[in-house]
Chain A
Amino acid sequence: MTTALPSPMQPAIQASAICKRYDQGPAALDQVSLEVRLGEVLVVMGPSGSGKSTLIRTFNGLEAIDAGALNVLGIHLDADHDERQIRRIRRRVGMVFQQFNLFPHLSILDNITLAPIRVQKRSRQEAESQARQLLEQMGIAEHIHKRPGQLSGGQQQRVAIARALALKPEVMLFDEPTSALDPERVKEVLDAMRALASQGMTMVVVTHELGFAREVADRVLFMDAGRVVELNDARSFFHHAEEERSRRFLNQMQH
């Protein structure tokens, strides 16, 4: 699914000292710098309120940054929050939310084909055949004419993934995709994400699923209080994390 960029050495996403503060609160993001490499799966972990969701929401402009700069697939973004740049990014970056955020008034099919038809101006016929294919991959083809409210949480989240993939994105952002699901529904969503990772999709995943992170992540970013605590190779992170704070977090997660 990944299309070749001009320079293979260029990172998919590059954040340089980005800062973000909500109204009077403490800094949600404090001088965060990092790179997401093309084709890698970066898992973002950290206690709640550590800024992980805010971070990935800055990548497609859902949150404006106060300072610093972002480069997403070669598109520059800074505190000016230029709407046109943001829309260029959103056309190439897909996002999956914790609460699925499907459109309840549209059928599953229309949920998926809305953006391909309206944003990418593709023909309805082509968009629908692609939607069918994606739903087939996600194992929910039989629900194509139902409404989101008629599906289970796990099914809805897989529709949300299909909806994001329909735009043929080069990067996929996942904001706690399994946190709102019943435990027995988590696996079906993680399986879909595993399949996506194995196809070489560049993915940034905010999650508390240690098993998934261990198995699928190439690297792990650990955040606390809006700062990057550790950005490490997944194997190293789980076996001998460099920072004391990371080790404490991992310990708590395992008990």
Chain B
Amino acid sequence: MQRRRQLLRHLRRHPLDSALSLAIVLLLAWALWATGQWVVEVADWRVVSANLPLYVSGAYPADQRWRPLVWLGLILTLTLVTLLWPRPRSGQRPGPMRVALPWLWLLMLPLGLAVLAGGAGTGLTAVSSRAWGGLVLTLLLTGASGLLALPLGVILALGRTSDLPVLRHGSRLYIDLMRAVPLIAVLFFGQLLVPLFLPVELEINRVVRAVVAFALFASAYVAEDVRGGLQSIPPTQREAAAALGLNAWQSLQLVVLPQALQIAIPALTNQAIGLLQNTSLMALLGLVELLGISRSLLANPAFIGRHLEVYVWLAALYWLLCTAMALLARRLERSVQPIPRAPGR
């Protein structure tokens, strides 16, 4: 009531204001109407509905498609459990589920790789990574390169803040270099040049090369975020750790890094979301992740001219994924930092 009155008063204050507001509202309404009409009446969604399995797992063999589906189902379940499981009240120890969740998340990547690849030891038919694609590949690329980039970034950040000049300058050089080169160049470098340096017998998988190049790139950005966290830890924390007899490594591992990473979480979330979206660049390298599979579908004569449908659908999918990631990150932020950090003086 209060707010509505405020709004009305605001609108009446000036005729130009009112006219402008009205115009904006009309414009929005028209845009919504037009979009809605297009979505419902004009658009031909067969390009999406007929190809759902391709969007999910690309060219994965049809009789084995249950494997990527099971993995996606597990991730979805884990996401829901993470978001909906009650948080421990302050002053209480976290329950066993809270303790297990991070490990379950970590387990998802090797599990996904094993389930998709199959072969010896798993009792599943082996499926070459050439056949992987779609949403599953997007998630794997994001997860694997993120998981590689994080430790690498932490090491770089520590090097960057080290007392040893060689380490400090080396890390800085690497970070500056990586940040000065566009991602696509790094990716092409990984695909085309790296194999030239390696012995012929050692043929590294295309996906692995992409992941490594991607992680090398992302680690430079992660390093700067972690460095920000490291620098915001007061030196008195190290002093307190030292006075308790902890050695430099213990002080870093138990006192400084946990706090620095905690502070860096919002920035790292940004990186993770950027990472997910940037995996679409791998379509240019011929990987058929979400964007790649869409491009190959558009090349199919049956679906010619359906660009708009495909890209609207892709946008919705990416939006969904990024939103889920943002929600998970917010959850993480809250669960590790349930209280303000201000020293209670």
Contacts and interface: CB of A to CB of B under 8 A. Distances in A.
B340 A99 contact: no
B240 A60 contact: no
Interface stretch (A112-120, A190-198, A232-240): A112-120
A95 B94 CA distance: 30
- Contact count band on B: 20 to 34
Nearest to A115: B244
A163 interface: yes
A182 B262 CA distance: 30
Interface in A135-165: 143, 145-153, 156, 163-164
Contacts, number: 90
Contacts of B93: 107, 145
A164 B91 CA distance: 22
B98 to A, nearest CB: 13
B342 A118 contact: no
A13 to B, nearest CB: 15
A67 interface: no
Contacts of A104: 259, 341, 343
B91 A143 contact: yes
A168 to B, nearest CB: 12
B90 A148 contact: no
A237 B52 CA distance: 88
A94 to B, nearest CB: 8
B110 interface: no
B316 to A, nearest CB: 38
Contacts of B241: 103
Interface in A82-119: 87, 90-91, 94-95, 97, 99-105, 107, 114-115, 118-119
B3 to A, nearest CB: 34
B243 interface: yes
Nearest to A182: B345
The majority secondary structure among interface residues of chain B is loop
Contact of B343 (A91, A94, A100, A115): A100
B338 to A, nearest CB: 8
Contact of A91 (B245, B340, B344): B245
Contact of A150 (B92, B246, B337, B344): B344
Contacts of A105: 258-259, 262, 336-337
B247 interface: yes
Given A60-B243, A90-B244, A118 B254 contact: yes
Nearest to A144: B91
Given A105-B258, A156-B344, A145 B91 contact: yes
Interface in B316-343: 336-343
A97 B341 CA distance: 18
Interface in B215-250: 236-237, 239-247, 250
Contacts of A167: 244-245
B243 A150 contact: no
B94 to A, nearest CB: 10
A220 B141 CA distance: 66
Contact of B250 (A103, A118, A146): A118
Contacts of A119: 244-246, 250
B254 A101 contact: no
Contacts of A100: 343
Contact of A87 (B90, B240, B247): B247
Nearest to A155: B344
B245 A101 contact: no
- Rank and list the top 4 A-B pairs by shortest CB-CB distance, nearest first: A101-B240, A115-B244, A119-B245, A90-B245
7 contacts: A87-B245, A90-B243, A90-B245, A91-B245, A105-B262, A115-B246, A145-B92
Interface of A: 60-62, 87, 90-91, 94-95, 97, 99-105, 107, 114-115, 118-120, 143, 145-153, 156, 163-164, 167, 180-182
Interface of B: 90-93, 236-237, 239-247, 250, 254-255, 258-259, 262, 336-345
Given A119-B245, A119-B250, 12 more contacts: A62-B239, A90-B243, A91-B245, A97-B243, A99-B343, A103-B255, A105-B336, A114-B244, A120-B245, A145-B92, A147-B90, A148-B343
